[in-house]
Structure 1
Amino acid sequence: MEADLLAHLSDPARGLRGKLTPNADLAKVTWFRTGGPADLLFQPADEEDLARFLALLPEEVPLTVVGIGSNLLVRDGGVEGVVVRLATKGFGEVAAFGGERIQAGAAASDKRLAAVALEAGLGGFHFLHGIPGSVGGAIRMNGGANGVETADRLVEARALDRSGAVHTLSRAEMGFTYRHAEAPEELIFVSALFEGPQTDPAAIRQAMAEVEHHRETTQPVREKTGGSTFKNPPGTSAWREVDRAGCRGFAVGDAEMSAMHCNFMINRGTATGHDLEALGEEVRRRVFQSSGILLEWEIRRIGRFVPGREVEGFRP
């Protein structure tokens, strides 16, 4: 099927301008540097190209969208069907306008959005300076830190559905909750409109410096990691419960819960997707035994297990 699909989509008559790569190595695009290949990877040239591709893609072909790979665990068996990855060239522009608003492409980094907000003197974006992700990911998971969330700044988001049709969702229509948006999973976010109050740039700079200092001194930012592994449970912090369960520095193979920040998994060198997911599920089990709290994954896990190397999700 993959060969037929590639031939179908690669036909010049189809008019696609983006890059199609069969058997694409996804380990290269994830911060963990692990995982199997995508059956087919498509990197669209721009929104029009993506819409054309979606209209051409048969409905029965599985479709997965990935960002810059900072909060992503790809399983070792790879990802079935098509993986779409938006590039900064076609989806990375960020521009301030209208006094208090910023338009940002989904592939723009959170850090770039924070920088443009600083240039425009718009407050409330400093938290993004410390999140190693993209605007699309921030929208999809209501990314946040330091007491501020994407939901606090978003005006509306623009997305394409599986057929390539355009949808514009208001903040209310996004259905934001903690680290989650209720927007349909089939939607591919391509850009978003944000707003923030006019603020003294010196105050913004100070807030961003504090975010940077906190990140540099408390998180393993120079390791192969995926950021926060688990969502914070109500009334406590995930790292605190992981620590109480004795899992700081706990390892499975070359996958380890960081001794520096024990809600961060790190790949010490040769960890596989299996090692990382098995570590996370064992930590969930130990935390539940320790405190009765069932941690929820914050890291997104996609793809197939290698037969015989499945990881069973912990259930009390």
Structure 2
Amino acid sequence: MLTAVSLPSVRGKLTAEAPLAPLVWFKAGGAAQWLFEPQDADDLSAFLRGLDPAVPVMALGLGSNLIVRDGGVPGVVVRLGKAFARVTAVDPLTLDCGGGASGILVSSTARDAGIAGLEFLRSIPGTVGGFVRMNGGAYGGEVKDILVDCDVVLRSGERVTLPVGDLHYTYRHSELPQGAIVIGARFRGRPGEPAAIQAEMDRISASREASQPLRSKTGGSTFKNPPGHKAWELVDRAGCRGLTLGGAQVSEKHTNFLINTGDATSAEIEALGEEVRRRVRDQSGVELEWEIQRVGTK
């Protein structure tokens, strides 16, 4: 275990044994051994530079696409706060976005600036750091289509700017260095009329509301869409709609969503996901891959 003596001094907030369940959408899971909320980028760099390289570090955004296992997360969980949530226009088509900025803030700022092509970010419940790491996408758009470059603090504490080509994006995956934390990114769109951009955002919002269990304790899309298939259709065909395990359930509204119906443990949620994978494999021969990240110890 880490002790306070082994940690570098910080200007931000450092909390021992910090419960993570309140910070993630599933509202389940254990604690972070240490939760660090840096005051700014310099604070984060200095902390990581002074931290024992053997200590694991993980970034936490809005906690929307994440299962925190019940045993908690060893090492340090870094959560970017308001200092990292700013979005500003740097030219007529480009936004400079902090790693802690939400998709709603980015897309709304783009609308106000007459920048089209970023509307899909309105539908992703997360932050810029997570979008960049996972090549977030929805409704025909992906981060790889709009990213110019990103600012990253490496596990060593070094700050670097990586162009989009260095991330080697594939579907819901990047080659961002292990332990690196995205603190900013530049997104570039195309000229558009604010009214038309708002109309597209409204269309996306209405579609999400109609098809997804947005008012439930969920984690977003559970499995990646396999080539040539839609994950929800495979899950539905395997008879998993409404399937339960303890307090966890496959959503009846959208079968690629798992739900905490009240007091589910993370173990139940993850086990339900594995049961769905097994049933899909048996029924269709397709191996579903998790899209939701699962972190920590069981």
Common fold by TM > 0.5:
yes
Gaps in structure 1 of 5+ consecutive residues: 306-316
1:274-293 Cα shifts (integer Å, max 9, x gaps) = 00000000000000001000
Instruction: Give the TM-score normalised by structure 1.
Output: 0.93
SS at match of 2:191: coil
1:191 counterpart residue number: 184
Match of 1:142 in 2: 135
Aligned to 1:113: 106
* Aligned residue in 2 for 1:101: 94
Which string of whole-angstrom CA distances, capped at 9 and with x for unpartnered residues, describes residues 123-149 of structure 1? 001111111111110000000001110
Equivalent pair of 2:221/2:257 in contact (CA under 8 Å):
yes
State the SS of the aligned residue for 1:280: helix
Q: Does the CA contact (< 8 Å) of 2:155 and 2:178 recur in 1?
A: no
Task: Choose from 269, 283, 289 the match for 1:296.
Answer: 289
Which amino acid is the alignment partner of residue 192 of structure 2?
T
CA contact (8 A) 2:95 2:187 kept: yes
Long gaps (5+) in structure 2: none
Measure, in 2, the Cα distance between the counterparts of 1:255 and 1:158.
37
Letter in 2 for 1:139: V
Which 4+ runs in 1 deviate beyond 3 A?
none
Identity of counterpart residues, as a percentage?
51
1:223 to 213, 216, 226: 216
1:2 corresponds to: 2
The CA distance in 1 between the partners of 2:119 and 2:85, in whole Å, is 19
Please, which moves more after superposition, 193-202 or 236-245?
A: 193-202
Pick from 165, 173, 182 the counterpart of residue 158 of structure 2. 165
Instruction: Determine which of 15, 30, 33 is the counterpart of 1:36.
Output: 30
- Give, in angstroms, the shift of residue 178 of structure 1: 0.8
Counterpart of 1:167 in 2: which secondary structure? strand
CA distance in 1, matches of 2:169, 2:155: 22
User: Is 1:260 matched with 2:281?
Assistant: no
TM-align CA RMSD:
1.0
Deviations 1:279-311 (A, max 9, x none): 000000000001000000000000001xxxxxx
Q: Which residue of 2 aligns with 1:80?
A: 74
SS of structure 2 residue aligned to 1:39: strand
Q: Tell me, what secondary structure is at the counterpart of 1:80? A: strand
